[in-house]
A and B are shown apart, each in its own frame.
Chain A
Amino acid sequence: MNNMVMFIILSGLILVFSLMTVLTRRILRSAVFLLFVLLATAGLYFMLDYMFLAAVQLTVYAGGIVVLIIFSILLTSHISERAAMAGRWRMIASALVVILGAGVTLYTIYSYAFKPSAETAVPSTMKSIGNQLINYGDNGYALPFEVISVLLLAVMIGAIIVAKKEVK
């Protein structure tokens, strides 16, 4: 019961703030609403007992990405500036597409009976996560870990090269 109340609060926060992120005309406010959405999502992860994932969500998403976005907003637009939205017909067409898509997806979800597993949950402690992340045997995720590290290196070099001033 308590969980249900918490879930309803968190999902209400997520839905309201993600709608406001998409609909508000002030870009900086929209970034702050995005921050609230990400915080509420971290709350959902806490509810599901994935503490480490919730911490990663808080530090990387809410701490890193939102700050990056706010920086770039401040660099590229005035605070008082109102964002331009699409025309009325485009809004209506997008809303129709989105409602149709959501309807089809929700119908598919409801027509499939998910059977929750009865097995005991493995603990998602720091130790087991760290062991699995660098393990290459069963239940090991060393390969994706290495791929992500190479991707991060490539992105760092790419971002520096893209954003640096051209030497004339």
Chain B
Amino acid sequence: MHQGIPLHYFLILSTLMFFIGIFGFLTRRNLITILMSIELILNSVNINFVVFNRYLFPHELQGHFFSMIVIAIAAAEAAIAIAIIINIYRNFRSIEVEKVDEMKH
């Protein structure tokens, strides 16, 4: 019990956020919105790391550092994904996943 909020509440929040992200990942047709769904998923995982760190292992900062690393990886992934998306747009004039079905241009 930290500050009067049970641990479960945070876990419910991050679970719902994770599955909303998965729903977006499955139903979206645009590469950038798929990328945004992935950001939602990574963010919910970060909440889990931080909350486990704060409630279960407050004497060390392991979850804190893990979520900092996840944030760094998310930034790297967004940068490389957007480079690829802009390159796809140059070649196909579209970033809808259904229209991008050739390896060659």
Q: Which residues of A contact B (CB under 8 A)?
A: 1, 3-4, 7, 11, 14-15, 18-19, 21-22, 27, 30-31, 34, 37-38, 41, 44-45, 47-50, 53, 56-57, 60-61, 64-65, 68-69, 71-73, 75-77, 83-86, 90-91, 94-95, 97-99, 101-102, 105-106, 109-110, 114-117, 119-122, 124, 128-129, 132-133, 139, 141, 144, 148, 151-152, 155-156, 158-160, 162-163
Other contacts beyond A4-B5, A162-B84: 20, CB < 8 A: A27-B32, A37-B17, A44-B47, A48-B50, A50-B54, A68-B82, A72-B86, A76-B86, A83-B33, A84-B30, A85-B29, A86-B27, A94-B26, A94-B27, A97-B22, A116-B55, A122-B61, A133-B65, A151-B76, A162-B80
Contact of A69 among B46, B82, B95 (CB under 8 A): B82
Number of CB contacts from chain A to chain B under 8 A: 220
Q: With a CB–CB cut-off of 8 A, which chain B residues contact A31?
A: 32, 36
Say yes or no: A72 contacts B32, CB within 8 Å. Answer: yes
Say yes or no: B32 contacts A76, CB within 8 Å. Answer: yes
Q: With a CB–CB cut-off of 8 A, which chain B residues contact A75?
A: 86, 89
**22 contacts across the A-B interface (CB closer than 8 A):** A7-B9, A18-B20, A18-B40, A22-B21, A37-B43, A44-B47, A50-B64, A65-B75, A76-B85, A76-B95, A84-B30, A86-B28, A94-B23, A98-B23, A98-B26, A116-B56, A119-B58, A139-B60, A151-B72, A151-B73, A155-B80, A159-B80
Contact of A117 among B13, B17, B59, B65 (CB under 8 A): B59
